[in-house]
Amino acid sequence: MRKAFFALGLALLATAWAQQRLVVAQGTDPITLDAPLAQDSPSATVVTHISETLFELTPEGKIVPLLAEGHSFSDGGKTLTIRLKRGITFHDGTPFNAEAVRFNLERFVSRELASPFAFLLSELDRVEVVDTHTVRLRLKNPFAPILAHLTHSSTAIQSPTAIQRFGAQYRDNPVGTGPYRFQAWQKGQFVDLVRNENYWGEKPPIPQVRFIPVPEGTTRVALVETGQAHVAVRIPPQDIARLQANRAVEVVRTPSLRTIYIYFNTQRPPFNDARVRQAINHAVNKEEILQFVLGGIGRISDAPIAPGIFGYASIGKYEYNPQRAQELLRQAGVSTPLRVTLHCPTGRYFQDIQVCEAIQGQLRRVGVEATIQTLEWGAYLQETQRPLRENRIQMAMLGWGTVTGDADYGLYPLFHSSQWAPGFNRAFYKNPEVDKLLAQARISTLPQGRQQLYREAMARIWRDAPWVFLHSEVQVTAVRQEVQGFIVHPTERYLAYKARFR
Amino acid sequence: MLTYAIRRLLIAIPTLFGVVLLVFLMVRLAPGDPAVLLAGEFATPETLRAIRERYGLDRPLPEQFLLYLGALLRGDLGESARSRRPVLEELKTYFPNTVELAVAAILVALLTGIPLGILAALRPGSGLDLGVMTLALLGVSMPVFWFGLLAILIFSVNLGWFPVAGKGTLAHLVLPAVTLGVNATALLARMTRGTLLEVLSQDYIRTARAKGLRERVVVFKHALRNAMIPVVTVAGLEFGSLLAGAVITETIFAWPGLGQLLVGSILARDYPVVQGAVLLVATSFILVNLLVDLLYAWIDPRVRYD
């Protein structure tokens, strides 16, 4: 009898102890925990728990001060003065102050670090320390999106002492100001974080978090089903139904800031005629694709950028209308069947090749014969990136994640005529009015003004149809019932600092 | 014997050089600009330039190769373009796990396949024999991917006997080892049955029986030892290929081995890691083959290499 109680006690103790740690199953192991170098979602996810940015992009799309206390623009928008919060220290005791901010921002744009995100602060001329808790950013040109760019996890402020002490090893020993501190990283197996007991803000309810890499989606699902993990990211579509029937697990859908589209080469026939591009938009049945190919996981685009991004507005709709499509093709003087090549990646985006195949079938009905050409991702990027003279692409599918949550980043690189490939305007789109609006929106620091400018720019882009506007992605995550408050962020990061066990 | 071993090792050197050259060329000739992949899809031309400079990607190919070779001879495998950690460190982290899994898998194969093969050979044509051979056929035909996922669903999710994935306790090793070892098990079962049947029909076995020895002694002391020779050889070669081919199993069970490192590195065009990993696998394979040949000579006194 006593043995039974003892065993029961142990079991309860074990469960209680187990409830001290949240286990999150991601697709891959983080590559680095050094914020400016953390490109992939798993790395950025872990970094966000440890190191914090000056400003935060909330899941609802608002920019709020985080390590900053307040800010002001001056000098026609060329100077940004940021007041920092007081009384904050890094996990190693180093004080968080203006000097630390300067150190980090200068390191961020430094050539030797070669951060893939250095472009986010390309307008930064220099950082000045005004006093212990005030920094001044001098910009080369007025740049309104700077605040949004400072919400990006790569701009997080890390401990200068630790960076200098660890040198190249810092990426394995991150030190920030965040709600969790780094404890251990067994490469390929797990990353362990523990609660920061001296956190300046609201302490997270759960004392420990473990991130494990599990490449196979079905295995991630199995881990959550058995309770060996509490959260599984990116659920494969075929496992969703089974999970929804399981009462121990909740399936959470969160919109992502990533938009999927097919762009046209707008400088070459046949797609140099806007009518042909609009025709294709009418020929594609997006509802059908959403329902049957995406299994309902996605949101049909009504703008070139997704909701949740500052500057987003619902612009329009290209309803499925094959007759209108054929009429437009006729008006443009196109003889059917029109033979084109559609480039498509495989396995890069959710159901990418399947969507292309569905579109191929839909285009056939209006007399457009599309041949699908697929390439491995590295080769695909290379092909799509070629400058106009060497570019052989007619139509290609791509995705764009507006990582800053600001419309400038979602529109300027893609639609401004100065950004033609090898930049990101691979459609070679050029509209002087759009150029002017986008440039103006960068400079204006008044939110309402900017929103209006983006609305006008997007209305023109929508009409010109340099893209087939498809859909924005939706993230599907599995979370165990006993976990409450876990956040799936539209920037594809998975946040545990407000989570608690019921 | 020793001279033979040394000769084999010396021959391995040009082989390895060929491997290094081949991998170097293949990875660089694959389409897709590595700088773009490493820098990420949002990178600007400046970042690309910085990355190219950092990894010497803008130098002519022969120069890149000589630089790599020079570093290699000094024991420097370079650093991972993704994580910026030394390649040697990455390999040291992941390779032992693959070895562990491969050893466990070959043990499963040896401890299951050989006894099954023996049982089948002792009762040829019986129901047992048919059963074992059918299982063996299934074992070589079953896709590892399917088998692994099925194992997880049945033994982890439904029955709860084993953990789903990852590395930790011995329990974590069971399902991946069995999954990886299924093919080898089937192969060894068939081989054992075949060679044992052949040996049992030999004259000296008939002599042993005529001498009045008990059947158990005949089989285990005389027949089996001779039958094991080719089986051991095959097992050794299988081990070598298990080392190289555990990618699918490692992916399904989130086993932190070389296969996972290699696939991720290839997709990201992380040249230094790919080159280092393939070189490691090739070296292991060559060494395992050499050991198997030496073992073979040691077991079978008739085999002479000199």
Q: What angle do CA A489, A403, A40 make, to 5 degrees?
A: 80
**C-alpha dist (Å) from residue A201 to A83, A85, A198:** 17, 11, 9
- pLDDT for A15 beyond 70: no
Contact B50 A114 (CB under 8 A): yes
Residue A235 backbone phi and psi in degrees, to 5:
-75, 130
DSSP assignment of B14-68 equals: HHHHHHHHHHHHHHHHSSS-HHHHHH-TT--HHHHHHHHHHTTTTS-HHHHHHHH
Q: What is the ipTM of this complex?
A: 0.83
Smallest CA–CA distance from A215 into chain B, residue: B251
* Three-class secondary structure of residue A342 per DSSP: strand
Contact B252 A168 (CB under 8 A): no
CA torsion B74-B77-B79-B83 (nearest 10°) is -150
Q: pTM of the prediction?
A: 0.87
pLDDT tens across A221-260, in order? 999 999 999 999 999 888 898 899 999 999 999 999 999 9
Q: Identify the weakest region by mean pLDDT among A20-24, A168-172, B34-38.
A: B34-38
Q: Which of A26, A31, A122, A390 to mutate to test the interface with B (most CBs of B within 10 A)?
A: A31
- pLDDT for B3 beyond 60: yes
Average pLDDT along chain A: 93
- pLDDT at res. B223: 84
Smallest CA–CA distance from B44 into chain A, residue: A119
pLDDT tens across A411-421, in order? 999 999 999 98
Q: What are the residues facing B267 on neighbouring strands?
A: none
- pLDDT for B213 beyond 90: no
pLDDT tens across A280-309, in order? 999 999 999 999 999 899 999 999 999 989
CA-based nearest distance A334→chain B, Å: 34
Distance in angstroms (rounded) separating the CA atoms of residues A72 and A135 = 11
The verdict on whether omega for the bond into residue A307 sits within 30 degrees of 0, i.e. cis, is no
Q: Which of B26, B27, B37, B41 to mutate to test the interface with A (most CBs of A within 10 A)?
A: B41
Closest CA to A456 of A443, A473, A438, A475: A438
DSSP assignment of A351-386 equals: THHHHHHHHHHHHHTTTEEEEEEEE-HHHHHHHHH-
CA A107 vs. chain centroid, Å, equals: 23
- pLDDT at res. B302: 76
User: What would you measure as the largest C-alpha separation in chain A, in angstroms?
Assistant: 90
Contact B254 A216 (CB under 8 A): yes
Closest CA to A408 of A315, A302, A489, A309: A309
Radius of gyration (Cα) for chain B, nearest Å?
24
Closest CA to A78 of A26, A130, A38, A136: A136
Task: Judge whether A192 and B259 are in contact, CB under 8 Å.
Answer: no
- pLDDT for A57 beyond 90: yes
- pLDDT for B113 beyond 70: yes
- In this complex, the residue of A168, A225, A378 whose CB is nearest that of residue B37 is A378
pLDDT tens across A432-442, in order? 999 999 999 99
Q: Which residues from A are below 8 Å from B261, CB to CB?
A: 188
Q: Which residues from B are below 8 Å from A39, CB to CB?
A: 40
Q: What are the residues facing A194 on neighbouring strands?
A: A181, A208
Distance in angstroms (rounded) separating the CA atoms of residues B45 and A203 = 41
**Residue A418, token pair as written in the block:** 């100065």
Task: Judge whether A412 and A406 are in contact, CB under 8 Å.
Answer: no
Render the burial of A385-419: b for 16+ CB within 10 Å, e for the rest. Answer: beeeeebebbbbbbbbbbbbbbbbbbbbbbbbeeb
For the residues A113-120, what does the mean pLDDT come to? 87
For the residues B244-252, what does the mean pLDDT come to? 86
Closest CA to A216 of A39, A28, A475: A28
Residue A61 backbone phi and psi in degrees, to 5:
95, 15
Task: Judge whether A466 and A277 are in contact, CB under 8 Å.
Answer: yes
- pLDDT for A351 beyond 60: yes
- pLDDT at res. B266: 83
Distance in angstroms (rounded) separating the CA atoms of residues B296 and B305 = 11
pLDDT tens across A87-112, in order? 999 999 999 999 999 999 999 999 88
- pLDDT at res. A5: 62
Smallest CA–CA distance from A27 into chain B, residue: B254
**Residue A280, token pair as written in the block:** 């294709």
**Residue A329, token pair as written in the block:** 């093709």
Distance in angstroms (rounded) separating the CA atoms of residues B3 and A491 = 63
Radius of gyration (Cα) for chain A, nearest Å?
25
Smallest CA–CA distance from B164 into chain A, residue: A223
Chains A and B form CB pairs within 8 A to the count of 125
Q: Does B157 touch chain A (CB under 8 A)?
A: yes
Q: For residue B104, how many C-alpha atoms fall within 13 Å in the half-sphere facing its CB? A: 20
Smallest CA–CA distance from B158 into chain A, residue: A226
Contact A212 B47 (CB under 8 A): no
- State percent of chain A over pLDDT 90: 81
- In this complex, the residue of B43, B160, B260 whose CB is nearest that of residue A226 is B160
- pLDDT for B42 beyond 80: no
Q: Which of B55, B83, B92, B263 to mutate to test the interface with A (most CBs of A within 10 A)?
A: B83
Task: Judge whether A395 and A384 are in contact, CB under 8 Å.
Answer: no
Task: Judge whether A232 and A250 are in contact, CB under 8 Å.
Answer: no
pLDDT tens across B121-154, in order? 988 889 999 999 999 999 999 898 999 999 999 9
Q: Which residues from B are below 8 Å from A422, CB to CB?
A: 45
Distance in angstroms (rounded) separating the CA atoms of residues A172 and B128 = 56
- pLDDT at res. B237: 87
Residue with more model confidence, A111 or A194:
A194
pLDDT tens across B143-199, in order? 989 999 999 999 999 999 999 999 989 999 999 999 999 999 999 999 999 999 998
Residue type, A150: L
Q: Which residues from A are below 8 Å from B32, CB to CB?
A: 376-382
- pLDDT at res. B131: 94
Task: Please tell me which of A12-16, A362-366, B67-71, B122-126 the model is most confident about, judged by mean pLDDT.
Answer: A362-366
Distance in angstroms (rounded) separating the CA atoms of residues A137 and A102 = 9
| Residue in the structure block whose two tokens are 């063996």 | B136
Which of 104-143 (B) contact A at CB < 8 A?
A: none
Q: What are the residues facing A341 on neighbouring strands?
A: A371
CA-based nearest distance A468→chain B, Å: 20
